Amino acid sequence: MTEDIRSIAKRAPFLQPMTPWGKPMTVRMTSAGRFGWVTDRRGYRYEEAHPKTGQPWPEIPPSILTVWKAVAETPTPPDCCLVNYYSEKARMGLHQDKDEADFGFPVVSISLGDPATFRIGGSNRKDPTQSVTLESGDVLLMGGEARLAFHGIDRIKFGGSTLLPDGGRINLTLRRVAPAGV
């Protein structure tokens, strides 16, 4: 699977996204599938082309689609695979994933490389949160009530895995962005 991610990144290079309020994100991102998640001064959205190359995103590799088929409990395929890369100091603040058309579809996440402290709460920002360590190979299925739970990554245990030659962590999130049948 790391080879498949390398070939995605060759055709769709990692970006350092800018938040709508002008602060660069610490996580590097690229995507595969019909839609890629992007952010810049115009806001968060899904786009059908890479913002730097103008090309469509690469297809989602079969090795990654297999994980969705095994756990997502829906015949509808994902149309976005967001690839997040965390180096030593990267983190992701508490947020909800709400840019997709139908929250009936789950989000499936695959963690690779260094372990991370993942925080998850409820559907209100003020709900109490719990922390869990995500290790390389862990798959999370976020469906039902959990689909709209606030979540984030507090820190990376840099050097905690030898999977990636330069260290760090990759997280793949598989989503259905468009409604079923579109």
- Which residues contact ligand MD3 (rule: CB under 6 A)? 82, 84, 92, 97, 107, 109, 140, 142, 146-147, 149, 151, 153, 171, 173
Which of residues 59 and 97 has its CB atom nearest to Fe ion in the complex?
97
**154 binding Fe ion? (CB under 5 A):** no
Which of residues 50 and 149 has its CB atom nearest to ligand MD3 in the complex?
149
Which of residues 109 and 136 has its CB atom nearest to Fe ion in the complex?
109
In angstroms, give the least distance from the CB of 160 to ligand MD3.
14
Report d(CA 90, CA 8) in Å as an integer.
21
The neighbouring-strand residues paired with 139 are 110
In angstroms, give the least distance from the CB of 97 to Fe ion.
4
Binding site partner of 30, from ligand MD3, Fe ion, none, Cβ cut-off 5-8 A by kind: none
Which of residues 97 and 135 has its CB atom nearest to Fe ion in the complex?
97
Report d(CA 102, CA 7) in Å as an integer.
29
Binding site partner of 80, from ligand MD3, Fe ion, none, Cβ cut-off 5-8 A by kind: none
Binding mask 95-134 for Fe ion (x = CB under 5 A): --x-------------------------------------
Report d(CA 122, CA 145) in Å as an integer.
9
Which of residues 100 and 114 has its CB atom nearest to Fe ion in the complex?
100
Q: Are strands 36-40 and 28-32 parallel, antiparallel or unpaired?
A: unpaired
Binding mask 81-100 for Fe ion (x = CB under 5 A): ----------------x---
